[in-house]
């Protein structure tokens, strides 16, 4: 393994910081939505706002050399007028200085879903002004933190927050509306290009990319119907983000199809030129599983999400596009995520062939219910999951892919959006009930040893 390979963990501001209304932080759309719906929220989360030093020290002691985290827009910008909150700047400066102290390379996301509520109130991602505001916020971050950060990303997972927020309706703002989904998707990708333009024009050092919830698509057979379904699924899951961010173009067949039923006049030629011009330097891929599909022409569209942790609740059936099916021979988590490491190998090979850009695996992990009251949490399932996925990365590198880093989701337990804190991903347990005590799980020590031995610990297997 190359000595510069980045090994670390990833978090998101809303999911770990807590301190939701501290030091003049503005309300985010997630604060607002979860409070209003009276759902389990991230008001305290892992209290990283006050414990970041301990968390970063533990990452370093665990052999990790990088930390992927996001900046909270509502912590940094107080209002629509763009007033900067110096206390927010101070907080992230302390995080970055702590990373430096512990020889941890920061990998920073500008947007991991916590839109300021003052922007949501005037339309959020449906409002074009928010694209401009995002670029202005990005500029503030580049100016204040530019000398401390070499790896930036604009958005975390546009597919996930746009489709969940505007089509499925299980995330804020909770719409179930295809036209709105298209508009939000376009605006987010346009905002991505505006932030990259600011980065290039400002001559900031380092590189800028995007992070995508990557789910490589497989078909149930080789029939022509399945191949067509696979293309629809790939456009829906991956291409509108990756083609647009990396090649500067929305998939033409997707746009042609949608334009038959929807008004796409919001796609302005001058903006499409900007999207073409300002593309990413690298791609971050979050990998949890692949998508296995078959054709779906009868029956209605049904999109349902498993937030309960009871197997069998999720459904993705899009009329005339595709149906997501399960392979019964593979294990799934309680939240219906298929465990399929081969998909990571195949996906990296595919993404590298298509985009020819450096790749980082920016999230990978397994969410489970765990008893963290015991002295030593023996999370063998997580070790086995990580072994198999890191093996898949090694295989992809052997096949010629330029993969530069691996981030486990997550270095410590976090709040998991609508699933609350019972769905745990961390290498370090957080006692959310009793004083936020941190306790390394067996996987923490395994990951440390794996990094120290430069991957020699990985049980190799080829697919």
Tell me how far apart the alpha carbons of residues 350 and 381 are, in angstroms, rounded to a whole number: 27
Q: Are strands 282-287 and 359-363 parallel, antiparallel or unpaired?
A: parallel
Kindly state whether residue 238 participates in binding ligand BG6, applying the rule CB under 6 A.
Answer: no
Kindly state whether residue 47 participates in binding ligand BG6, applying the rule CB under 6 A.
Answer: no
Contact pick of 367, 426, 440, 455 for ligand BG6 (by CB under 6 A):
367
Instruction: Show Cβ contacts of residue 78 under 8 Å, excluding neighbours closer than 6 positions.
Output: 24, 26, 84, 85
Tell me how far apart the alpha carbons of residues 108 and 95 are, in angstroms, rounded to a whole number: 11
Instruction: Show Cβ contacts of residue 170 under 8 Å, excluding neighbours closer than 6 positions.
Output: 164, 305, 307, 418
Closest listed residue to residue 282, CA positions, set 351, 344, 362, 208: 208
Tell me the three-class secondary structure of 6-62, residue by residue.
Answer: EEEEECCHHHHCCCCCCCCCCCEHHHHHHHHHCCCCCCCCCCHHHHHHHHHHHHHHC
Which CB atom, from 111 or from 144, has the smaller least distance to ligand BG6? 111
Contact pick of 157, 336, 370, 413 for ligand BG6 (by CB under 6 A):
157
Which CB atom, from 268 or from 310, has the smaller least distance to ligand BG6? 310
3-state secondary structure of 305: coil
Footprint on residues 199-218 left by ligand BG6 (CB under 6 A): 213
Closest listed residue to residue 132, CA positions, set 202, 77, 187, 207: 187
Tell me how far apart the alpha carbons of residues 32 and 48 are, in angstroms, rounded to a whole number: 20
Kindly state whether residue 46 participates in binding ligand BG6, applying the rule CB under 6 A.
Answer: no
# residues near ligand BG6 by CB under 6 A: 14
Footprint on residues 165-204 left by ligand BG6 (CB under 6 A): none
Footprint on residues 401-430 left by ligand BG6 (CB under 6 A): 409, 416-417, 419, 423
Which residue number places its CB atom closest to ligand BG6? 416
In the complex, what is the shortest distance from the CB of residue 198 to ligand BG6, in angstroms, rounded to a whole number? 23
In the complex, what is the shortest distance from the CB of residue 13 to ligand BG6, in angstroms, rounded to a whole number? 10
Which CB atom, from 142 or from 305, has the smaller least distance to ligand BG6? 305
Kindly state whether residue 12 participates in binding ligand BG6, applying the rule CB under 6 A.
Answer: yes
Location of structure tokens 């927050």: 161
Contact pick of 65, 156, 291, 443 for ligand BG6 (by CB under 6 A):
156
Kindly state whether residue 144 participates in binding ligand BG6, applying the rule CB under 6 A.
Answer: no
For helices 342-355 and 380-398, the axis angle rounded to 10 degrees is 30
Tell me, residue by residue from 271 to 290, as one string, x for binding to ligand BG6 by CB under 6 A and - for no binding. Answer: ---------------x----
Q: Which of 120, 350, 363, 370 is catalytic?
A: 363
**Residue 363 appears among annotated catalytic residues:** yes
Tell me how far apart the alpha carbons of residues 198 and 219 are, in angstroms, rounded to a whole number: 40
Which CB atom, from 106 or from 426, has the smaller least distance to ligand BG6? 426
* Residues 102 and 60: beta-carbon distance below 8 Å: yes
Active site residues: 363
Q: Which residues bind ligand BG6 (CB under 6 A)?
A: 12, 15, 156-157, 160, 213, 286, 363, 367, 409, 416-417, 419, 423
């Amino acid at each position: 393994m190359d000595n510069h390979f980045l090994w670390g963990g990833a978090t998101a501001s809303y999911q770990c910081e807590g301190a939701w209304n501290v030091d003049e932080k503005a309300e985010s759309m997630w604060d607002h939505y979860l409070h209003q719906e009276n759902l389990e929220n991230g008001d305290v989360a892992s209290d990283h706002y006050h414990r970041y030093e301990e968390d970063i020290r533990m990452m370093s002691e665990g052999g990790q050399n990088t930390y992927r985290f996001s900046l909270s827009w509502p912590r940094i910008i107080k209002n629509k007028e763009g007033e900067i909150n110096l206390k927010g700047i101070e907080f992230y400066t302390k995080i970055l200085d702590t990373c430096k102290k512990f020889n941890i390379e920061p990998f920073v996301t500008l947007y991991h879903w916590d839109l300021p509520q003052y922007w949501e109130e005037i339309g959020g991602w449906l409002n074009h002004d928010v694209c401009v505001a995002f670029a202005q916020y990005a500029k503030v971050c580049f100016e204040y933190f530019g000398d401390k950060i070499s790896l930036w990303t604009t958005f975390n997972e546009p597919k996930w927050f746009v489709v969940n927020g505007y089509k499925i309706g299980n995330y804020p703002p909770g719409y179930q509306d295809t036209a709105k989904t298209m508009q939000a998707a376009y605006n987010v990708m346009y905002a991505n290009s505006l932030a990259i333009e600011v980065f290039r024009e400002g001559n900031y050092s380092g590189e800028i990319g995007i992070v995508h919830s990557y789910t490589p698509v497989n078909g149930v057979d080789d029939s022509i119907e399945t191949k067509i379904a696979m293309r629809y699924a790939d456009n829906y899951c991956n291409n509108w983000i990756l083609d647009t961010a990396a090649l500067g173009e929305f998939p033409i067949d997707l746009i042609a199809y949608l334009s038959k039923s929807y008004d796409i006049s919001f796609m302005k030629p001058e903006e499409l030129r900007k999207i073409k011009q300002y593309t990413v330097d690298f791609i971050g891929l979050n990998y949890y599983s692949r998508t296995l599909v078959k054709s779906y022409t009868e029956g209605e569209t049904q999109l349902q999400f498993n937030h309960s942790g009871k197997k069998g609740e999720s459904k993705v059936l899009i009329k005339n596009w595709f149906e997501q099916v399960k392979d019964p021979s593979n294990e799934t988590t309680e939240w219906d995520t298929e465990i399929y490491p081969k998909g990571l190998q195949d996906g990296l090979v595919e993404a590298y062939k298509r985009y020819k850009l450096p790749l980082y695996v920016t999230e990978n992990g397994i969410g489970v219910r765990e008893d963290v009251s015991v002295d030593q949490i023996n999370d063998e399932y997580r070790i086995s999951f990580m072994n198999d996925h890191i093996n898949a990365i090694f295989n992809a590198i052997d096949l010629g892919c330029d993969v530069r880093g691996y981030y486990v989701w997550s270095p410590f337990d976090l709040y998991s959006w609508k699933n609350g804190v019972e769905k745990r991903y961390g290498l370090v347990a957080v006692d959310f009930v009793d004083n936020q005590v941190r306790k390394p799980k067996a996987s923490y020590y395994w990951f440390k040893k794996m990094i120290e031995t430069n991957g020699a610990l990985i049980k190799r297997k080829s697919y």
